[in-house]
Amino acid sequence: RCPQSHGRISPKPGFNMPSLAERRVARMAKHVVPTRDESDQSPKEEKSSDPVQPEPSEEASGAHPIVAMLEAPAEDAVQRAFVEQLFEQHELQVVWANERNEWQKAQDAQVLVTVKRTVDEALLATLPKLKLVAVAFTGYDHVDLEACQQRGVAVANTPDYSTDSTAEMCFGLIFSLLRHIPMAHQHVRSGKWVWPAGNELSGRRLGIVGTGAIGMRVAEI
C-alpha cells in the first residue's frame, strides 16, 4: 500500500478512485518484481581484455522488464489501462498474453501472471527469459512446480489477498441467514410489509471449522 495516500492508490486524472479489486492489483504490481541475476549483486569485476563485449541487458538498455498477463486480473473488473499504469509506476511493462497479437511480445517476458490458467512445460518452453510465475490466486495446483524448478523459475502465490474480504463476507451471510434478508427483500419488493423480525446474533456461540488465516480473522472480528 502507499502510505502517502493512506492505503489507496491515487490514479492519474481520468480514473475513478480504485475499487477493492484495483487495490489488490496495485499490491500485486508492487510485489511482482523480477529477481536480479546473481551477477547484479556481486562486486564489479575488472574489465576483460577480450574485445567481444556481451549484449546489453534489458535493464542496461532502458527497457522495462515485461510482465505477461495470461488472464485479466479480477476477471476484467479492473480496467486494463489502470493495470498498465500501476505496473508502469514500478517500471514494469504489461503485455496481455491472452491476446494473439500480443503473444510475440510476451515471449520476452520475465514475469508471467496467471489466475487459473495452466502453466505447464509446454508454455514454459515458449518463455526462455522467464524468472517468475506469479499466481494471482491462493491455489497454485495449476502450475507445474517441477518444470518451473528445473528451469530455475520462481513461483509465488497470494495466500492472504482475500482474507479480510472473505471473513467479512462470512458475517454478511450470517446476518442474511439470521434475518432472512434475501427473502425479506423479495417480500418488500412485491409490495408486502409484514415480515418476522428474524433472529439475533447476540448471545449465540459461533463455531469456526478451520483456524487458518480466514478462520482466525473471523474469530478476531
- The residue among 23, 127, 138, 4 whose CA lies nearest residue 70 is 127
Better-scored residue on pLDDT, 25 or 142: 142
Predicted confidence at residue 83, as pLDDT, reads 86
Residue type, 148: C
Question: How many residues belong to the chain?
Answer: 221
Q: How confident is the model at residue 24 (pLDDT cuts 50, 70, 90)?
A: low
Give the SS3 label for residue 170: helix
Could you tell me the pTM of the whole model?
A: 0.60
pLDDT confidence of 37, banded at 50, 70, 90?
Answer: very low
pLDDT at residue 120 above 90?
yes
Average the pLDDT over each of 3-12, 111-120, 180-189 and give the range with the smallest value: 3-12
Does 40 score more than 50 pLDDT?
Answer: no
Sequence-distant (≥ 6) Cβ neighbours of residue 112 within 8 angstroms: 67, 68, 70, 97, 119, 127, 130, 132, 133, 134
CA distance 192 to 210: 40
* Average pLDDT of span 89-110: 81
Q: Contact at 8 Å (CB) between 95 and 102?
A: yes
The band of 41, judged by pLDDT with boundaries at 50, 70 and 90, is very low
